[in-house]
Each structure stands twice: as C-alpha cells, then as structure tokens.
Structure 1
Amino acid sequence: MSILVHIDIPAENLEKANDFYLKLFGRKVEKVMGHVEGPDEDIGNISGSKDISSYIGVYSIEEYIEKIESLGGKALTSKMVVQGWGYLAICMDNANNIFNLWEKSLIPDSQPEWLSSSP
C-alpha cells in the first residue's frame, strides 16, 4: 500500500502560502531544514523547482521501481539516502509525469514528527 506523504509547494511569499494551506487543509506547512532562502523561496522545496512535487510513501523503493518499469515508466534516479529522514527515488510514469517515491527510515526518532503522523 502507498500513501502521499509529502508535497513540495513553490511559493514566493512563504507567509501567504502557509496561510492559504493552513486555511485550506487545516494543517501547518513546514519549511525543510537546510533550505536556502532567496528571491525564489519555496515551502519545503530544496531544488528550487517551480513545479509542485509529490512524494508517495512505499515500503520498498526497489520493489516499486520494478513495477514502474514493468508498466512502461522509468526510474530517473536510483534509491538515494536523505540523511536522517529516509530514502528517495525520482520516477517518471508512462505519460512523462515526474513523481517521487519515499521510503521512511526504519531508525526510530530519525524523522520529523509530522512525517510519521497521519492527517
């Protein structure tokens, strides 16, 4: 089973974006530690991309990469370590849409509280 666990949302005004999503979903938006601030600030987006990025939680990235490739998609990266949080792989579906697979770390207390909580 998989679940949407994280979304990167580009925004020029962090306060305004946070207010919007707090009112819309009733959840606080958090800035990722290590984020570089500048004229193109975003909420939780380290890459500086201007696209919303989704992260789908799975138990095994390797298993899902096999499924993706068998369905005509492809893995654009191999499984990567996100220190202290878990693992990530960037993938493309068979219609050239990019999405991310997320596998949480099995080490207790190695992730932010919000990542392991349910909505």
Structure 2
Amino acid sequence: MNRVVHFEIQAENPERAASFYREVFGWQIDEWLIPKVKIKDENRYWQVTTGSEAEPGINGGLVFRRGPPPAEGQSVNSFICTIEVPDLDEHIDRVIRAGGRVAVPKMPIMGVGWLAYCLDSEKNIFGMMQTDEMAQ
C-alpha cells in the first residue's frame, strides 16, 4: 500500500500559521534555511514536526499560499488532515484562542469518537478527533 508521508499547509502568512499550530497542538515549526542562499519569500519553507519519530504519524511543511484562500461557504476541494487529540473540547478552545474557528461543531462518530472540523488562522480546514468507543 501507499501511505501518506508528508503534508503541507498553505498560508497567506506562514509566521501567523506557525504560531497557530504551535499554540493549538504544540508542534515544532522551524523555517528551513539554507546557509548563504537568499530565498524569495514565495519559496520559503517551514518544516513541521508533529511528534516523536517513535510515535505513529507524519510530519509536514508550511508554505506561502499561491492563490486566493478558500471563499466563505465554498465546498472543500482538498485532502483534510485530522489530528488525534486527548480532549476535543479543550482543543476547540485552543483553536478559538489562537484565532481559528469551528467550521463543523463537535459530533459523535458512533463507536469511534468525537469529531469536529475547524478553520486555522489562514482559513484552512482541518479535523480533530478524540477517540471514544462509547461516543453516540
């Protein structure tokens, strides 16, 4: 099988997006710098580390958006990444405090857990899931 091995988050303001994801999920996000090479803004790249290499999951990147952000109410035309969290309500609060918002409120996925979709500081949609086999 072919596995997802990397993701990229597009942002109008990568520094703002990096701050959002650091605050909400505690991710390590560092700009990838090449010594003695001047990189144009649109080609700058931030590496995103989401956890220890010993844990399941993937790491990714953060890049400048190369077009307009999704319009309000526009249907989603992308892959949506869902992040597992230990407490969905707490992480929804973190999203709001960090400048994001809830796109689809918390809902049960029977026998699996609780799911919500949010928008980050750049209006990108992502999911958050709290495992709970008793969810109804």
TM-score w.r.t. length of structure 2: 0.42
**Which protein has the bigger strand share?**
2
TM-score w.r.t. length of structure 1: 0.48
